[in-house]
Amino acid sequence: MKTLLTTLATCVALGLPGVALAQDATPHINARKAMMNLYAYNLGVLGGMAQGQVPYDADLARSAATSLFHLSRSGSARMFPAGSDSVSMPGATRALPAIWENFPDYGARAAALAAATEVMMNAAGTDLASLQGAMAGLGGACGDCHQTYRQAQ
Amino acid sequence: MRRLAVAALGLGLVAGAAGSVLTAPASLPPETLAALAAHPADATHGEAVFWAGGCASCHAAPGVAPSGPLEPRLILSGGRRFATPFGTFVAPNVSMDPEQGIGGWTQAQFAGALLLGVSPEGAHYYPAFPYATYARATPQDVADLWAFWQGLPADATPSQPHDLGFPFSIRRAVGVWKLLNLNADPVIAVGDDPVLQRGAYLVEALAHCAECHTPRDALGGLNTAAWMAGGPNPSGEGRIPALPPQGWSAQDIANYLQSGFTPSFDVVGGEMADVVANISRIAPEDRTAIAAYVMAVRSSPSP
């Protein structure tokens, strides 16, 4: 209690709004971050091959692309409850409030990602050129969402 | 409140009288105009300048997706809003529409806007338009860019006014800002290596990386002593990282600028998604040059 009072007093003295204090992540937010790491693992397999830094391996590429296909269909929108945004939970998440202000658009972008992972799943095991050809669309689908809905670092 | 206004007005008049010569918009020197006129303009190279300069990042319509089709990125109808500590700037229509855009401009007027931040009517532009970067561009690149620009579509969307508070609403005051911040000197001395020189030109004259990656002073000028040291996002939440990012190689930077993937396969977001949408369209060797320059920044003594 005394710590809280001291913190509040410091906030008042420094003119800081109390809500700016960093918040702990919720289970929803932790799960979302873990999901993003799963994306990054599978993209790392495919992107490493596309960039020539990992030898092309059709089975491994197909496996990674299939994982992405299922990740993008895992219903993760339900892990974004109202109030789990970067303003309500500063320091815990970079998910911008714009997600909840434009939830239909957010869903449309998720659908675009699901379409891009399907293209990749059909391409990745064919040959390296097909994998490389599907990479820009997949990265673009990630980036279109990050541009609008993720806070800068 | 009224006394304050009168006092401010009085101070403004005094400062205006003293500063009117210093703050008057400049015009291009004769040698620049001669170089512009003498250059056989190449629209194909102008397109490369267009993507390197990132014009579409601000002047394409709001909501044009970075990964979307090319055509909407070439319709420079303006309308994107940039909230800053000085107020909200709205990117104007710079399409080839003769009424609402810049279709009626001459090559010299285009060059004056880009290199000096001066409108055809002789007014200062606000430095949200990064002419303090473009001031370093060669007249040849400007002429090529204009040749490309003239082939872009016209769009009749009217430009929206900026929403700025006093005293930033006084355009003439931008003249003071220019005295402090507008020059064509290189920022980092990169030596004789042609790749580094190309990278320095691309970054310091066209790609304007520093406009976000370098912290600003109280008047919004770039703090060149902390070149690419990162800082608060100038038009939004969060922070812009220092360059080069920790642990990245030159190849990582070139890959990122081409694909949007970080070395750990996170994917670019925010304003940088638009940057990648532009820079991914320039020549691979130019991305390599940018990466080499960015890697050199860390070990270079800043001026």
**pLDDT at residue B153 tops 60:** yes
Residue A95 phi/psi, 5° resolution?
-75, 115
The string of pLDDT tens digits covering residues A123-144 is: 999 999 999 999 999 999 999 8
For residue B140, name the pLDDT band (cuts at 50, 70, 90).
very high
CA atoms within 13 A on the CB side of A46: 38
A152 vs A133: which has the higher pLDDT: A133
CA atoms within 13 A on the CB side of A51: 22
| Position A10 in a domain | no
**pLDDT at residue A6 tops 60:** no
Give dist(CA A81, CA A112) in Å, integer. Answer: 21
Give dist(CA B197, CA B205) in Å, integer. Answer: 11
User: Which H or E run includes B209?
Assistant: none
User: Which H or E run includes B88?
Assistant: strand B87-90
Give dist(CA B129, CA B114) in Å, integer. Answer: 9
| Position A6 in a domain | no
Give dist(CA B205, CA B135) in Å, integer. Answer: 7
Contact A143 B255 (CB under 8 A): no
A147 vs B113: which has the higher pLDDT: B113
| Position A4 in a domain | no
| Position A52 in a domain | yes
pLDDT recorded at residue B292? 97
pLDDT recorded at residue A21? 59
Q: How far is A13 from chain B (nearest CA, A)?
A: 23
Question: And the tokens for B277?
Answer: 């949408």
User: For the stretch B264-293, what's the b/e string if a residue is b when 16 or more beta carbons lie within 10 angstroms of its beta carbon?
Assistant: ebbbbbbbbbbbbbbbbbbeeebbbbbbbb
| Position A11 in a domain | no
Predicted TM-score (pTM) of the model is: 0.85
pLDDT recorded at residue A40? 96
| Position A37 in a domain | yes
Contact A144 B67 (CB under 8 A): yes
Domains of chain B (ranges, CATH numbers): 26-181 (no CATH), 194-299 (1.10.760)
| Position A19 in a domain | no
Neighbours of B122 (CB within 10 A): 11
Contact B238 A153 (CB under 8 A): yes
Mean pLDDT, rounded, for B227-244: 86
C-beta separation of A43 from A138 below 8 A:
yes
Mean pLDDT, rounded, for B202-207: 98
Question: And the tokens for B79?
Answer: 């309308």
Give dist(CA B237, CA A153) in Å, integer. Answer: 9
CATH of the domain at A134: 1.20.120.10
Domain span including residue A88: 27-149
Q: Which of A45, A67, A72, A142 to mutate to test the interface with B (most CBs of B within 10 A)?
A: A142
A22 at B interface, C-beta within 8 A: no
**pLDDT at residue A13 tops 60:** no
User: Domains in chain A: how many in total?
Assistant: 1
Contact A151 B238 (CB under 8 A): yes
Give dist(CA A44, CA B267) in Å, integer. Answer: 11
DSSP B33-86: HHHHHHS---HHHHHHHHHHHTHHHHHSPTT--TTS-SGGGG------EEEETT
Contact A139 B274 (CB under 8 A): no
Question: And the tokens for B158?
Answer: 């009217």
Residue B216 phi/psi, 5° resolution?
-110, 155
| Position A57 in a domain | yes
The string of pLDDT tens digits covering residues A47-105 is: 999 999 999 999 999 999 999 999 999 998 899 999 999 999 998 999 999 999 999 99
Handedness of CA B36, B38, B39, B40 (dihedral sign): positive
Tell me B267's DSSP state: B
The string of pLDDT tens digits covering residues A20-35 is: 456 788 999 999 999 9
Average pLDDT value over all residues in chain B: 90
